[in-house]
Amino acid sequence: MHPPTTLEISSQVIPLMATLMLVVQLLLIAQRMLLTNIRLFAIQSLLLSGIAAVVAFNYNASHVYVVAVLTFIGKVVFLPWLLNRLVHRIQIHQDVEPLLNAPSSMLICAALTLLGYSVTRPFTSLEKLGNNTLAIALALLLTGFFLMINRRKALTQVLALLTVENGVMLAAVALTTYGMPLVVELGIFFDVMVAVMVLGILVYRIRENFDSMDTGKLDQLKG
């Protein structure tokens, strides 16, 4: 028995943190309070940022540090703050009003997670960061998507989109040791930033015009 190397430790730590991300995702799905939802998203992003930092430390990839820092600043600090402010400013009802109730949502998410695992089985040998990370990333993506469908309010849909993006980032880190080229990651990152800004403004406008944040009311726009 030799003491475990840092590489071995990290190959345990990363799947653990990834799994925690999935757990947080499931909490998000079950949780009905809007402000708590935002906090949960911040925690999930913190975990992602941690994974990126561990990867960067392990493989000495300096540009992955950039990703970690950007994720921290953007998704743990800035976006939650922005969304919080938006919630306070438009003073909406705290309940997120999902379309499906929590138990059935859970069942569907379990099925989606299974799908993620079954689809990624051929790729597990490619992963450098432990066996389950890619599967979890895909599961995050799919459940995030489901979350987007299951919510009515524009703000919660934005939140769901952000979790989808967390899944994509995780996949990027998991599948390729050093992450994607920095340019691509930065591109994705700023894409999402801009998307959230635009959606934030849009949410405000929807609220102003329809006196509600229910995107279902947008079908009145149909010609």
Residues binding another protein (CB under 8 A): 99, 112, 115, 118-119, 121-122, 142, 145-146, 148-149, 152, 157, 215-216, 218-222
Least gap, CB of 28 to another protein (angstroms): 17
HEC string for 159-203 = HHHHHHHHHHHHHHHHHCCCCCCHHHHHHHHHHHHHHHHHHHHHH
Q: Which of 90, 107, 97, 100 is nearest to 26 (CA)?
A: 107
Q: Bridge-partner residues for 214, per DSSP?
A: 153
What residue type is assigned to position 173 of the chain?
Answer: V
Decide whether 116 or 130 has the Cβ nearer to another protein. 116
Decide whether 3 or 223 has the Cβ nearer to another protein. 223
Least gap, CB of 112 to another protein (angstroms): 8
Least gap, CB of 77 to another protein (angstroms): 28
Decide whether 107 or 218 has the Cβ nearer to another protein. 218
Least gap, CB of 86 to another protein (angstroms): 18
HEC string for 119-133 = HHHHHHHHCCCCCCH
